């Protein structure tokens, strides 16, 4: 019946006969997964580069990691438009801070700034699930995880985005050393990068929004290094 009708007639009839609602919907879930792991003197931040909407892929090469200073990286998954605006808000405040203090903002100060910036939109939130990775005042790695309105907490590791439910248990076990009987060991930056690559391969297997490639940034006292590791494209 309806399948054989020409397309324009189909839509006109649908408007006339079926009820539908119009709703202001500013949000779009663009998918993606981000991970951040802190070590003794480094932080590894990683995010897959796939950007999707619904069941379509919009870009295979959209970064989710943003270096705010040379010791702090913001990782944000969710809606890319909100993430971009959030980045610009933060960037403006950071630039003002640098001009008036003649020094870059410390990671803990950036973490608090992001929390307040997110909370200023408490009634119309940014659709961004953020984490901040950076070195604290003593040079130890710190990861701060946020919810959508700015509640944050310092952690040793964190993971956000569509693959969160697949990855978090692995991080809890490997990095958090939960429910393990062997002795806890501290990892070097290279070992953590290898773990992160494996984790993204695992997440790509089951999560449709994760894949294409993973961008990995390692923050050390000397600066930030970046690496891109390819993942499955399907």
Partner 1 sequence: QESGLKIRYPLSHTKTMAFATMDLSFLSDPGVFAKGQHAEDDDARGDLQMARSIDIQSFPLAPVSSPYTFCEDVRKHGNAPGLMDFKHGTTTLGFVFKHGIIIAVDSRASMGSYIGSQTVKKVIEINSFLLGTMAGGAADCSFWERHLARLCRMHELRTKERISVAAASKLLANIFFQYKGQGLSCGTMVAGWDKKGPSLYMVDDSGERFKGERFSVGSGSPFAYGVLDSAYDRNMSVEDAVELGRR
Minimum distance from residue 31 beta carbon to partner 1 (Å): 10
Q: Which residues pair with 146 in a beta bridge?
A: 152
Q: What is the number of other CB atoms lying within 10 angstroms of the CB of residue 72? A: 29
Pick the catalytic residue: 18, 33, 72, 188?
A: 33
Tell me if 115 contacts partner 1 by CB under 8 A.
Answer: yes
**Cβ closest to partner 1, residue 27 vs residue 191:** 27
**Cβ closest to partner 1, residue 7 vs residue 20:** 20
Q: Catalytic annotation on 18? A: no
Contact by Cβ (8 Å): 171, 159: yes
Minimum distance from residue 29 beta carbon to partner 1 (Å): 6
Within residues 128-147, the interface with partner 1 by CB under 8 A covers 129, 145, 147
Tell me if 23 contacts partner 1 by CB under 8 A.
Answer: yes
Tell me if 75 contacts partner 1 by CB under 8 A.
Answer: no
Q: Which residues pair with 220 in a beta bridge?
A: 223
77 to each of 15, 68, 84, 179, 183, how far by Cα in Å? 35, 16, 11, 28, 33
Minimum distance from residue 47 beta carbon to partner 1 (Å): 16
Closest CA relative to residue 145, chosen from 128, 135, 127, 159: 159
168 to each of 37, 68, 203, 211, how far by Cα in Å? 11, 25, 10, 17
Interaction site with partner 1 (CB under 8 A): 23-27, 29, 78-79, 96, 100, 115-116, 118-125, 127, 129, 145, 147-151, 153, 155, 164-165
């Amino acid at each position: 019946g309806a399948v054989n009708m020409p397309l324009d007639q189909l839509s006109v009839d649908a408007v006339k006969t079926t009820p539908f609602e119009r709703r202001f919907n500013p949000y779009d879930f663009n998918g993606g997964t981000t991970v951040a792991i802190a070590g003794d003197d480094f932080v590894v931040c990683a995010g897959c580069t796939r950007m999707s909407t619904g069941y379509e892929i919009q870009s295979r090469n959209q970064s989710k990691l943003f270096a705010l200073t040379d010791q702090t990286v913001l990782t944000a998954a969710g809606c890319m438009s909100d993430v971009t605006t959030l980045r610009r808000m933060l960037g403006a405040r950071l630039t003002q801070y640098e001009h008036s203090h003649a020094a870059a903002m410390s990671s803990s100060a950036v973490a608090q700034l992001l929390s307040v910036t997110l909370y200023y939109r408490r009634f119309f939130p940014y659709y961004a699930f953020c984490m901040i990775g950076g070195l604290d005042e003593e040079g130890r790695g710190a990861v701060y995880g946020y919810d959508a309105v700015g509640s944050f907490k310092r952690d040793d590791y964190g993971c956000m985005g569509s693959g969160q439910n697949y990855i978090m248990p692995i991080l809890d076990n490997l990095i958090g050393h939960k429910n393990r009987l062997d002795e806890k060991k501290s990892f070097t930056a290279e070992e953590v990068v290898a773990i992160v690559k494996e984790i993204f391969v695992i997440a790509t297997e089951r999560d449709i929004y994760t894949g294409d490639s993973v961008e990995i940034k390692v923050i050390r006292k000397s600066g930030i290094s970046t690496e891109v590791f390819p993942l499955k494209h399907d």
